[in-house]
Amino acid sequence: MIIYLLAKKIFLNVGVADKRGKEYVKKTITVSAFSQIIAIHNARSTIIENNFR
């Protein structure tokens, strides 16, 4: 029961934060996804370069 109440409280907080920070979250996710794609691309090109040496 305590876990249920905690989960409910967390979900309510997330709901409020969701309304306030939806744009912020979208931007953050986009930026982090973009940087991850760049990181993966860099890692791949490094691996390819190392294989050809």
Q: Is residue 6 part of a domain?
A: no
Q: How many residues are given for the chain?
A: 53
Q: Is residue 9 part of a domain?
A: no
pLDDT per residue as tens digits for the range 6-47:
767 766 666 666 666 676 667 776 777 788 878 888 888 887
Pure H helices in 1-53:
2-52
Read off the pLDDT band of 48 (50, 70, 90): confident
Q: Is residue 53 part of a domain?
A: yes
pLDDT score at 37? 79
pLDDT score at 45? 82
Q: Is residue 1 part of a domain?
A: no
From first CA to last CA, the distance across the chain in angstroms is 61
Q: Please state the pTM of the whole predicted model.
A: 0.38
